[in-house]
């Protein structure tokens, strides 16, 4: 178990267990307070598995998930998509086209309520 500071974050260089079985802790530590591994941000609720469509903003990425939508009237599927904004901690590097796993957290800003937990290859 990682040592905890007064603010609930893990000790220097040590990653805490965030409770998501799919996510592995990054190797290098970061000083980001909104990092679920090295900061005090807790994750809860839904997991979002999507592809990065925009990573130009500072510490924020746009994720998109393609979902099939069924129309019973026509007995066909159509392509649908869902887009969210997610915070990218300093210890995780993402680029356009990467497949990532994002976890729901408390609202960080007006449009960001998810945090990137893992980059999948």
pLDDT at 21 over 70: no
pLDDT, greater one: 13 or 49: 49
Domains located in the chain, CATH noted? 43-120 (2.40.50.1000)
Q: Are strands 112-120 and 76-87 parallel, antiparallel or unpaired?
A: parallel
Residues 120 and 99 sit within 8 Å (Cβ to Cβ): yes
Confidence band, pLDDT 50/70/90 cuts, at residue 1: very low
CA angle at 110 for the pair 106 and 116, rounded to the nearest 5°: 50
- The overall pTM is greater than 0.75: yes
Quick one: pLDDT at residue 15?
73
Q: What is the pLDDT of residues 42-95, one digit of tens each?
A: 999 999 999 999 999 999 999 999 999 999 999 999 999 999 999 999 989 999
**CA gap 55, 17 in Å, rounded:** 26
């Amino acid at each position: 178990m990682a040592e905890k500071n007064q603010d609930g974050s893990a000790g220097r260089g040590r990653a805490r267990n965030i409770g998501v079985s799919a996510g592995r802790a990054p190797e290098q530590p970061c000083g980001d307070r909104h990092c679920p591994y090295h900061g005090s941000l807790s994750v809860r609720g839904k997991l979002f598995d999507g592809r990065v469509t925009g990573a130009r903003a500072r510490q924020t990425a746009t994720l998109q998930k393609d979902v099939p939508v069924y129309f019973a009237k026509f007995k066909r599927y159509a392509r649908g998509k869902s887009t969210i904004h997610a915070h990218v901690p300093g210890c995780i590097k993402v680029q356009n086209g990467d497949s990532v796993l994002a976890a729901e957290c408390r609202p960080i800003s007006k449009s960001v309520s998810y945090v990137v937990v893992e980059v999948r290859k």
